[in-house]
């Protein structure tokens, strides 16, 4: 296994392994890379749907996605797609998946299936680096705070996606979500302190209204969005990315109008978060 940095502060590119057969010590080493760096990118992989599912099961568990279309034969696999005639993509803003769940998913294994001739990159930010970049006064201010997260304003019948050309294809509009998590968590495996709020799903600081919360939340978001902390995954055929939702934010770039893009995603089960 050979490892190179994807960007100075987030991500690694890993070569010399076959995801279809990885197991044992090699799989544990890959997990450690994902937990630490936030995202691992692997090229020239030939994962079948069966391989994709088997890898996720060896990793530790699968959460079935509640919102995206699912493959008919393989419901473990969610389809994150955009047709050539659609304008809106999925995930086109900074977020971390499943922060609105009581036990957020650990992360995802995303496999490129159909790609545009250019564009469609995915950006990542390491939330440990984001936390470290805060000044001491801000760190002290957020130390004991918690925040409320929900996806209802995104996926409900009146939500963001319902107003777009993606709305008719999404599922789960009747679901109600909501979870409270510390603003600063410790990674359950590495112990690293991570900033755990995001612009998509974090609504307010507990004990404050949305309006009272926004100045602090926007300050935290601005620190995290520092371009120096970002890394870019450029997709090509055979690319697989595995990321940790606790450690990263991500952003799917919507810069390929007129072309289709389809990615197959399996969501990996997580564990409870703590300050």
* pLDDT above 90 (res 57): yes
Report the alpha-carbon distance of residue 240 to residue 242 in Å, rounded.
Answer: 7
Q: Which residues neighbour 154 within 8 Å (Cβ) at sequence distance 6 or greater?
A: 160, 161, 200, 201
Residue ranges per domain, the chain?
Answer: 2-268
pLDDT at 221: 98
pLDDT at 77: 97
pLDDT at 28: 97
| Tokens representing residue 120 in the block | 């469609």
Q: Read off φ and ψ for residue 167, nearest 5 degrees.
A: -60, -40
pLDDT in tens, 214-240: 999 999 999 999 999 999 999 999 999
Q: Read off φ and ψ for residue 6, nearest 5 degrees.
A: -75, -40
Report the alpha-carbon distance of residue 61 to residue 266 in Å, rounded.
Answer: 10
* Band of pLDDT at residue 20, cut at 50, 70 and 90: very high
Instruction: Read off the pLDDT of each residue in 124-138 and give the average, rounded to a whole number.
Output: 98
Instruction: Read off the pLDDT of each residue in 240-260 and give the average, rounded to a whole number.
Output: 98
State the virtual CA torsion across 91, 93, 95, 101 in degrees, nearest 10.
-50
Question: Coil, strand, or helix at residue 184?
Answer: strand
Tokens 């159909």 sit at which residue?
114
| Tokens representing residue 24 in the block | 């044992």
pLDDT at 174: 86
Report the alpha-carbon distance of residue 117 to residue 162 in Å, rounded.
Answer: 28
CATH architecture of 2-268: 4-Layer Sandwich (3.60)
Q: Which residues neighbour 79 within 8 Å (Cβ) at sequence distance 6 or greater?
A: 68, 69, 70, 71, 262, 263, 264, 265
* Helical residues (DSSP H) of 40-151, grouped into ranges: 49-59, 127-132, 136-142
Q: Is 44 left (phi over 0), alpha (psi -120 to 50) or beta?
A: left
Closest Cα partner for 39 from 14, 60, 66, 12?
Answer: 12
Report the alpha-carbon distance of residue 267 to residue 106 in Å, rounded.
Answer: 8
Report the alpha-carbon distance of residue 149 to residue 158 in Å, rounded.
Answer: 18
pLDDT at 194: 98
* Helical residues (DSSP H) of the chain, grouped into ranges: 24-37, 49-59, 127-132, 136-142, 152-155, 210-224
Angstrom CA distances, 50 to 25, 75, 123, stand at 22, 11, 27
């Amino acid at each position: 296994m050979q490892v190179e940095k994807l960007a100075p502060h987030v991500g690694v590119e890993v070569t010399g392994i076959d995801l279809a057969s990885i197991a044992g010590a090699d799989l544990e080493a890959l997990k450690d890379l994902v937990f630490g760096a936030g995202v691992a990118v692997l090229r020239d992989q030939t994962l079948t749907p069966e391989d994709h599912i088997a890898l996720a099961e060896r990793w530790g568990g699968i959460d079935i996605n509640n919102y995206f279309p699912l493959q008919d034969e393989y419901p473990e696999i969610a389809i994150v797609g955009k047709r050539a005639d659609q304008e809106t993509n999925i995930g086109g803003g900074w977020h971390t998946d499943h922060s609105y769940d009581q036990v957020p998913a650990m992360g995802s294994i995303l496999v490129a299936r159909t790609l545009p001739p250019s564009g469609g990159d995915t950006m990542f930010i390491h939330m440990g680096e984001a936390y470290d970049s805060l000044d001491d006064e801000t760190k002290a201010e957020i130390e004991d705070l918690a925040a409320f997260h929900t996806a209802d304003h995104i996926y409900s019948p009146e939500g963001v996606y319902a107003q777009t050309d993606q709305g008719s294809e999404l599922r789960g509009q009747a679901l109600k979500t909501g979870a409270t998590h510390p603003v600063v968590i410790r990674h359950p495996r590495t112990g690293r302190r991570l900033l755990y709020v995001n612009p998509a799903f974090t609504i307010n600081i507990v004990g404050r209204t949305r309006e009272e919360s926004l100045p602090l939340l926007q300050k935290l978001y601005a620190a995290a969005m520092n371009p120096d902390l970002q890394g870019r995954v450029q997709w090509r055929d055979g690319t697989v990315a595995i990321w940790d939702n606790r450690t990263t934010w991500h952003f799917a770039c919507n810069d390929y109008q007129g072309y289709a893009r389809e990615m197959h995603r399996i969501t990996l089960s997580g564990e409870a978060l703590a300050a």
